Amino acid sequence: MPPKPKKQPRARKPHANVTRIPEIIARLDDAYGIPEWRPHRDPLSELVLTILSQNTSDSNSGRACVRLLEAFPTWDAVMEAPLAELIAAIQPGGLAPTKAPRIRAVLRDIKGRRGDFDLAFLAELPLDEARAWLGSLHGVGPKTVACVLLFALGRPAMPVDTHVFRVAQRLALIPMRAGNAAMTAEKAHALLEAAVPPDGYYAFHIGLIKHGRRTCTAQRPSCDACVLRDLCPSVGKVAGNRTVRESVKHVDG
């Protein structure tokens, strides 16, 4: 007898909160203010700052970026700097021995392909092509791609950092697992981009970051003060221990 075909795992039905994402955004806007998009900086500076921001605070990554530009006045100088000097310059951002060679490799990659460091052309490419071009750079992952597209170019993309990932999982906007593996922030980009209306990407991203920092913290979240309490299936389930996987513990691109 032929072997019985293996049962395919059932696709999980999306949680009802996915349909309430516009309401979630509106509540976060009421709680923390409506975020207004402004271009942060040129695309390359945004790319480098995003690499520096991985696994550190905004203040530390900002200090590292300032020190980098003070030590090396041009991107050519950064690209050609001895690795030890580059590591020393970005030390305040943490993980400098990992980030320094990554920044140098990205700069060399861009210069080799384009002949300069101007990434303004990405604004004119179809979105999928711009995303693919950035994602093909050495060591650049979905979060960095999305940050450059959204913050520097004002294009619809969804950056998923540790706060967005944690709050989205607690609200059941993304599942805890992806097939047989644990869900990760990298895998969550596509899911959240499909779930959130494109014109809401910026407000959703900023709202979940603020909520994750001020209320829905990694440990001991303030559920009693949460404006999403009645929607959240995780209320009361997080105390000193984490109930969602903090997957962004590595240098997530």
**Helical (H) or strand (E) element with 181:** strand 181-182
Report the alpha-carbon distance of residue 163 to residue 169 in Å, rounded: 10
Give long-range contacts, CB 8 A cutoff, 24+ apart: 71-77: 75/44, 75/107, 75/111, 75/117, 76/111
Of the residues 143, 187, 237, 249, which is catalytic? 143
Class of residue 194 by CB neighbours under 10 A (exposed 0-12, middle 13-18, buried 19+): exposed
Mark whether 6 is an active-site residue.
Answer: no
Q: Residue 133's CB: how many other CB atoms inside 10 A?
A: 18
How many residues can be counted in the chain?
A: 253
Catalytic residue list? 143
